[in-house]
Chains A and B, each alone.
Chain A
Amino acid sequence: MPDAISLRTAAKSGEAKASSRATLADPRRATRLVLAIFLGPALLVYCGLTAYPAFRTIFDSFFTIEGMDATFVGLANYRELMGDETFWVAVRNTFIWSFVAPVIDVATGLLLALALYAGVPFARFLRVAWFTPVLLSYVVVAILWMWIYNYDWGVLNVMLRAVGLGDLASSWLGDPNLALAAVIVTHAWKWAGFNMVVCLAAIHSLPKEVLEASDLDNCGWGAKLRYIIIPMLRPTLLSLYILSFIGKMKVFDLVWIMTQGGPLWATETVSTYVYKRAFNWNTFDLGYPSTIATVWFLVVCAAVIILNRVLGSRERLEY
């Protein structure tokens, strides 16, 4: 093979390093050195700042840690956790949020996407406009909605009073019965645009022929939605549901700024409770919050695996 020979001489005469000559036979192989250069920094960061801290948290969950002193307490933290009423309230709130809210999220996302797909005017503008809240930080969203929910001059109460429903005006974040719902609505407001955009992209990637065929068959929008669009979008909708679910299991920022878990633990989530126990209460023990974090870590992983199985998505989990 004259080509190979000329190649080899080219490689030799050129600036190529030993590694490139060694891998000339199979360009998809690389020496360990090259792999280490490419993967090393990322793995170092991962091991040092994700894997090691995660293991350390799990390890710490068996200790009481006050300042520099760590005392081994075995499973005492776990026993205490089982009897911790605040923890169970937090779990209940987080579960309500994680299972209910994603349904709302995905449904609004799909409806909005369908509206844009149906060819309303200014669709491009609407898409960009609806997506805007996704980009605002939780701090901004929380402050905005605290004002919207304000009892005296918040938009919501002002509108209720304007249409003569002043009786319904409430202190939305101050009433234990309403606070969780109020925070959930805020969270849904922020993420609606994200679900819409994902659904829209998925609808656009559906095979055109199927939709055209359904038009020829005099298929109405309801039937089209029920028999064509939803079944074909199933993988996307499921992964959106799981994505949304994971987001809710972690929710912290919004709650922390809007209500700090109050009133009366009505909006306490597991994340805010961990934060409170670790950095906010004067208990000075990092062992117990580590226990909560460990348990919750296992719950989230298990929930994701189970959801993936139950919902029967053969897709691998995304995001």
Chain B
Amino acid sequence: MAATLAAASGRAPLPRLFSRGILALVLGVYTIYQLGPFLWLATMSVRTTAEISADPYAWPSPLHLDQFRTAWVDSDFATYFWNSTLVVVGAVAVLTFIGAAAAHALARYRFRGNRIIYGILFSSIIFPPQITLISLYQILVDYNLYNSLFGLALVYISLQLPLTVYLLEGFFARIPQDLFDAAKMDGYGDLEIFWRIVLPVGMPAIATTLILNFIQLWNEFLFAVVLITDPEKRTLPIGIRAFMGDHFQDIGMIATGVMISVIPVIIVYVFFSEKLIRGMTAGAIK
């Protein structure tokens, strides 16, 4: 590309070097802008609050890894972490199943109302969350699911269902029909086809939605803060916020708690960055 650039503009090499230098500088600064805050957070998470107040930008030495132990044990972050894990893993597992089943039916079978059901499910993606928030609060109170992780998981399933169906429907529709015809000839029933063909063949797309849903629900704040009040049942986002409300000055410990919530996301990202990026963009391009 550089060669074509030079050929196209026909400039001398020196200005080209100069403009490339400018570009590199801009990109470098931009990368610091995007990544710097996070790295700063990482350094603060292994420093004590006293050290941070002395100099917020110093390199962490010595490393106070015991901060993580303190946050985990003494500041209840272990509780928040396991609550988050329970709710998110449970919700994502159920969500993937019922989402995939619905997406398969919508993508594969011709029946009256197919596109209407798809359209109704899909349109709720634009709903502002407040339209369901207040009523969901009332409903969960009515059914004794308020302040329970089970209730929160149910709500999470409903929140991510439209996107899941939308992404999987698009993928399942591209599985060649021949595969299904052949399966029918082999005497597979409809449920077997779903179980033994759609799920294995659709695994890449299913994995993408799985990771996407995991991250979005792991980070979810609004519904958690409304539907959970018991400190024992807080998920990580509301746990961190509650901790910050109580210990506003304890910057080192807040940073450690924040890191605890971010580490699983970063691990997932390190392993599945391509899948994740593709999943998040799949909705926006067609």
Contact = CB atoms under 8 A, between A and B. Distances in A.
Chain B at the A interface: mostly helix, strand, loop or mixed? Answer: helix
B2 interface: yes
Nearest to A290: B134
A306 interface: no
B121 A252 contact: no
Contacts of B218: 137
Chain A at the B interface: mostly helix, strand, loop or mixed? Answer: helix
A153 B55 CA distance: 9
B180 interface: yes
A14 interface: yes
A132 B132 contact: no
Contact of B222 (A35, A130, A202, A252): A252
A240 B284 contact: yes
Given A23-B190, A38-B105, A290-B134, A192 B34 contact: yes
Interface stretch (B71-79, B96-104, B202-210): B96-104
A50 interface: yes
Interface string B159-178: 00111011000000000010
Contacts of A38: 101-102, 104-105, 194
A268 interface: no
B18 interface: no
B69 interface: no
A292 B117 CA distance: 28
Contacts of A301: 126
B284 A274 contact: no
Interface stretch (A71-79, A140-148, A174-182): A140-148
A42 B127 contact: no
B24 interface: yes
Interface in A1-34: 7, 10-11, 14-17, 19-20, 23-24, 26-30, 34
Interface string B124-150: 111111111111111100000000000
B158 interface: yes
B221 A42 contact: no
Contacts, number: 307
A140 B262 contact: yes
B34 A129 contact: yes
A257 B136 CA distance: 22
B105 A50 contact: no
Interface residues of B, number: 105
A42 B5 contact: no
B89 interface: no
Interface string B85-128: 00000000000011101101110111100000100110011111
Interface residues of A, number: 113
Most buried by A among B23, B244, B285: B285
Contacts of A131: 273, 277
A105 interface: no
Most buried by A among B33, B106, B185, B261: B185
3 pairs of A and B residues whose beta carbons are closest in the complex: A137-B219, A14-B187, A49-B158
9 contacts: A17-B189, A28-B108, A46-B124, A49-B158, A112-B30, A147-B251, A239-B284, A300-B126, A319-B284
Interface of B: 1-2, 4-5, 7-10, 23-24, 26-27, 30-31, 33-38, 40-41, 53, 56-57, 97-99, 101-102, 104-106, 108-111, 117, 120-121, 124-139, 154-155, 157-158, 161-163, 165-166, 177, 180-181, 184-191, 194, 215, 218-222, 226, 237, 240-241, 244, 251, 254, 258, 261-262, 265-266, 269, 273, 276-277, 280-281, 283-286
Interface of A: 7, 10-11, 14-17, 19-20, 23-24, 26-30, 34-35, 37-39, 41-43, 45-46, 48-54, 56-58, 60, 112, 115, 118-120, 126-140, 143-145, 147-148, 153, 155, 158, 189, 192-194, 197-198, 201-202, 205, 215, 218-221, 235-236, 239-240, 243, 246, 249-250, 252-253, 256-257, 270-271, 274-275, 278-279, 286, 289-290, 292-294, 296-297, 300-301, 304, 315-319
